[in-house]
Structures are given as C-alpha cells and as structure tokens.
Chains A and B, each alone.
Chain A
Amino acid sequence: EVRLLESGGGLLQPGGSLRLSCAASGFTFSTYAMSWVRQAPGKGMEWVSAISGSGGNTYYADSVKGRFTISRDNSKNTLYLQMNSLRDEDTAVYYCAKEREPPVFDYWGQGTLVSVSS
C-alpha cells in the first residue's frame, strides 16, 4: 500500500524558513518523480515543485522560484521542501504527491499546514 506522510508544518513569521518532509512507503521511491502541491485557505490547488526520480531534475512554480528548494533522499525514501523567505501568501496545506506518467498525481499525502503570519 502506497503511503505518503508529510511533516514539518507550523506557524511562523514572514521571512522565516521551514523544511517539510514527506516519508514514502509502499513503492520503489527512486523510480518515481514527486511533487509538492499546496492549497491555500479557500483556494484551489497550486502545484509548487517537482523532482525527478533520481533527483537530477527539479522544477518550480514561478511563485516560489528562488525561495523554495525541493530535494529527495532515495536511501531514506523521503522527499523534502526547504522553504525560505516565507510570505503570508505561502500559507497553505502542503501535500506531497507521487507522480505517474502522463504525469498525474496518483497518490497524495494527508498534507501539513504551513501558516505564515506576523
């Protein structure tokens, strides 16, 4: 059974930093690209970032480029999102999601809440 478990969310002030983690199990982690998708309160889903299975290729939404860094440790079956220079508008539930070609998101975690407020 595929399981994705996010952790690391919290409440912090603008300009702060946070690292999210996503522990994966139930599939060969290194074989699949992974993404972070967020949902701000009362808003729709927004794709944030993706990383290839090997970790060699990374992709970012313009809204987070230069502030967020996605990475993965395939030996630990864990995905990360380092979030720096956080802004109020980064407040959201952050989901990690497993990608499958075409690419779609075939499995999602429960999400972790990040609240940025002064």
Chain B
Amino acid sequence: DIVMTQSPDSLAVSLGERATINCKSSQSVFSSFSNKNFLAWYQHKPGQPPKLLINWASTREPGVPDRFSGSGSGTDFTLTISSLQAEDVALYYCHQYFGTHTFGQGTKLEIK
C-alpha cells in the first residue's frame, strides 16, 4: 500500500496568517494516462463528519472558500490556507486514491 505521511502533526497559526500542511506519498500518485494526481484533502472538525475540500490535488470542491488551495505533484503535496479563520480549526487529512485508499495520519490545526 502507498504510505501517506503528513507534516507537521500539529500546527498553530495566528488568525489571518498562512497555514501550510504537507503530505508525502511513498510512491507517485500521478497518472500519466489521465495527467492527474490522485490526491484529495479533507477537513475534520470535532463532532462533525469529515468534509472533502480538494480532489485531483488542486481542484476545490464547490462551496469551499478560495483561501483553501492544493498544490503539488507526484509524491509531494501541500494544502495551503492563505488567511486562517477561526472556523478553520480542525484536523486535516490527505488521501490517495491511486491505489488502495490510504490516508495521512492527520494534521491538527490550531489558532496561535
């Protein structure tokens, strides 16, 4: 299975500042056939179901604020929140669907 490793495990950022979460896969999740990266990001708040934010590494879901962006290719990916809002406090997971589904261990995002 493809192992997904996120960094850092936790992150504290001031309101209005940029938050960056990294995700590294043990093998490439890029398909040259489709020219796409099989990588998604989810937000998980306490007491709520996880929420899909981004798929294909950089495609935002409808309704997701544009302060959330995804980037990267191959084995290295980043979720960036350009200006942190209080409601962004959550756990964030990356997920690869190139092979059998696997997830990163999660990154806990807090307000500094």
Interface 0/1 of B86-108, CB less than 8 Å to A:
00000001010100111111100
Q: Which residues of B contact A (CB under 8 A)?
A: 36, 38, 40, 42, 47-52, 55-56, 61, 93, 95, 97, 100-106
Q: A45-B93, A46-B103 are in contact. Are A104 and B55 (CB under 8 A)?
A: yes
Q: Is there contact, CB below 8 Å, between A110 and B105?
A: no
Q: Is there contact, CB below 8 Å, between A44 and B93?
A: yes
Out of B52, B100, B106, which one reaches A105, CB within 8 Å? B52
Residues of A within 8 A of B97 (CB): 102-104
Q: Which residues of A contact B (CB under 8 A)?
A: 4, 35, 37, 43-47, 61, 95, 97, 102-111
- In the complex, which residue of chain B has the Cβ closest to the Cβ of A111? B49
Chain A CB count within 10 A is highest, among B100, B101, B104, B105, for B101
Q: 24 A-B residue contacts at CB 8 Å? A: A4-B49, A35-B101, A37-B101, A44-B93, A44-B103, A44-B104, A45-B50, A45-B103, A47-B100, A47-B101, A95-B50, A97-B50, A102-B55, A103-B97, A104-B40, A105-B42, A105-B52, A106-B52, A106-B61, A107-B49, A108-B51, A109-B49, A110-B47, A111-B49
